[in-house]
Structure 1
Amino acid sequence: MRKSLFMAACAVAALGAHGASAHAIVGNRFFPATLTVDDPGVADELSLPTLSSFKTGDDPAARELDVSGEWSKRLTDRLAISFGETWTRVKAPDATAAHGFQNLETTLKYEFLASAEHETILAAGVSYDWGGTGAGQVGAERHSTVTPTVYFGKGAGDLPDALAWARPFAITGLVGYAVPTRDTADGDRIPRVLKYGLAVEYSLPYLAAHVEDLGLPDVINHLTPLVEASFESQVRFAQGRRTTGTVNPGVIWSGRHMQLGAEAIVPINRDSGHGVGFVVQAHWFIDDLMPRSLGRPVW
């Protein structure tokens, strides 16, 4: 049975002096690029397109469609910069619609720890949302926002033999604090926001390659079922200090050069949305597609 994904992953990982390399590989562990909660990997990759559709938390609710893309480029083996943009269409219940781009977002991420033995990655970064670069009619703010963030990933491959069935489990997550570049807008205080999220994954590729090959079809052995949860809590200058967020169950198929993902979007409360939406994504591994050009670190 073909196990090209993890044969390639292990070969790439062996080249990294600190135990991790392209698209979030550490030891035997491959962390797929998650759709909602950014993973801790530093890589040359492209998420294009990401499509999501859901009903907003407004009363009455509007239907929002987001089409987004993000390009991440390694500057060194451990440092990467990414650029993300989203086109949004908001359709009100009376059939009127507004559309336009959100603010441009750039992120600088540095991987400061990778343990192959414990399948652990830690990274830190800072994102900058460029105020005024998007359309106000779809919610793009006029002010900029700076968000320092800590990212983490931990695989369960170091569990004892008695728990070998659980070794394919892994978690990734982040904690960030969004700070606006000014305190007020139109006479109102701009809240500061705590952003946090977690993804729980069960890697069937890991199960087949490093625990036990159950003889499942090859397409199944490339799947990673997962549940993501993403939250935002207003913690300063906020009235009511409300928390919004979603829980996103889904699955990711990972191949040699790309991955495909699909998740449901389930709001945690009425402020977070109405009903169940969805998100789908195509994610491209530029370091494998163009290893001698765009897939290499700049330095």
Structure 2
Amino acid sequence: MGRLWLRAGLLALMTSLVPLGSAFAHCVVGNRFFPATLNVDDPCVADELSLPTISSFKTGDDPAARELDISGEFSKRITDRFGVSVGSTWSQLRTPGSPTVSGFQNLETAFQYQLLKDATHEFAMMASLDIEWGRTGASSVGADPFTTTTPTLLFGKGFGDLPAEVGWLRAFAVTGGLGYAIPGSSSTTSTDPDTGDPTATQNPRVLQWGGSLQYSMPYLKSAVVDLGLPDVVNRLVPIVEAQFSTPVGNTIDSGTKTTGTVNPGIIYIGDKYQVGVEAIVPINRDSGGNIGVIGQVHLYLDDIFPNTIGRPLIDTSAIGKGN
């Protein structure tokens, strides 16, 4: 219960801050809008709230457990280019023959910097330092006792700069991310329940990589051709995401097998929010027991609260300008 109030307090504190400046927050690059994706982060610093994100799937354990995750993430711009985010996930695990367990995963934060936005080529790039804080979650649901730091590079590229002759192909876009997860401890020691002897398990360094292929119906209408489709169709973004993890260091116990999922789905873009749903398709048995599902409600805080929490804390655009 103490961890629950800590997470609620952190979220309330950050959302109560009254910013000093203003700038456009969505991931808009030229004519291209990159929606917030459900599995791999989009490449822009923004003011936004994902609440809730709910997923249900079977784990890759033997026997497989049915896992339910409910999470939230709050992202806040400090300046036009620099932002922070904080997120937390509550998990429930149902394993055949074992009691149901539940609890919070470790608290996660990210420090993000917008490296580039090229409007002409619809290209964006962002650097992020992601930190999962050890011992802030419940070990019963798999939360690690050590902190993991993951430097990450994220990008997005729209194809609106292709020749006009290719027509509808210009509505395609891709995003991607590459991170290197570094555990704060090289090994974790536990006690064998049968013998009472201590056992050390090596914690691997992991390459985390993935991306998305998306087709923007809003872009097709506004920048390519208006087909006269219903408004609800013109707000859809069909998408396929993929996320993978490959142990690349300290792999004596983990091995080097890649695990991950492919996530086909669709995102609906509203005026101040978006709603997305995707399937969770494991790429192998170690990645999951069957097909799961993930859904998310995502709020654009710069549109909902344009004069308060939807603006950066510091207006860097005014720095250096005369009165």
Structure 1 and Structure 2 fold alike (TM over 0.5): yes
Matched, 1:90 2:93: yes
Matched, 1:116 2:116: no
- Equivalent-residue separation in structure 2 for 1:80 and 1:199 (angstroms): 23
Matched, 1:52 2:55: yes
1:161 to partner: Cα distance: 1.4
Matched, 1:158 2:161: yes
Matched, 1:104 2:107: yes
- Equivalent-residue separation in structure 2 for 1:169 and 1:273 (angstroms): 29
Equivalent pair of 1:23/1:33 in contact (CA under 8 Å): no
- Equivalent-residue separation in structure 1 for 2:202 and 2:98 (angstroms): 32
- Equivalent-residue separation in structure 2 for 1:211 and 1:24 (angstroms): 20
1:95 to partner: Cα distance: 6.1
1:296 to partner: Cα distance: 0.7
Show CA shifts across 1:250-286 (max 9, x none). 0000111000000000000000001100000000000
Please report the TM-score for the alignment, with normalisation by the length of structure 2: 0.86
2:248 maps to what in 1? Answer: 235
SS across alignment from 2:281: strand
Matched, 1:176 2:171: no
Tell me which of 145, 150, 168 is aligned to 2:148: 145
User: Among the aligned pairs, what percent are the same residue?
Assistant: 56
Matched, 1:213 2:213: no
1:23 maps to what in 2? Answer: 26
SS across alignment from 2:38: coil
1:188 to partner: Cα distance: 2.1
Equivalent pair of 1:69/1:85 in contact (CA under 8 Å): yes
The number of aligned residues is 281
Structure showing the higher strand proportion among its residues = 1
Gaps of 5+ in 2: 1-21, 190-199, 315-323
Q: Indicate the RMSD between aligned Cα atoms, in angstroms.
A: 1.0
**Which of structure 1's runs of 4+ aligned residues deviate more than 2 A?**
none
- Equivalent-residue separation in structure 2 for 1:91 and 1:77 (angstroms): 43
The one-letter code matched in structure 2 to 1:232 is S
Tell me which of 161, 177, 202 is aligned to 2:215: 202
SS across alignment from 1:209: helix
Gaps of 5+ in 1: 1-14
- Equivalent-residue separation in structure 2 for 1:54 and 1:163 (angstroms): 39
- Equivalent-residue separation in structure 2 for 1:63 and 1:95 (angstroms): 12
The one-letter code matched in structure 1 to 2:117 is A
The one-letter code matched in structure 2 to 1:136 is S
SS across alignment from 2:219: helix
> Which protein shows a greater Rg?
2
- Equivalent-residue separation in structure 1 for 2:242 and 2:60 (angstroms): 17
Matched, 1:289 2:304: yes
Matched, 1:223 2:251: no
1:94 to partner: Cα distance: 2.7
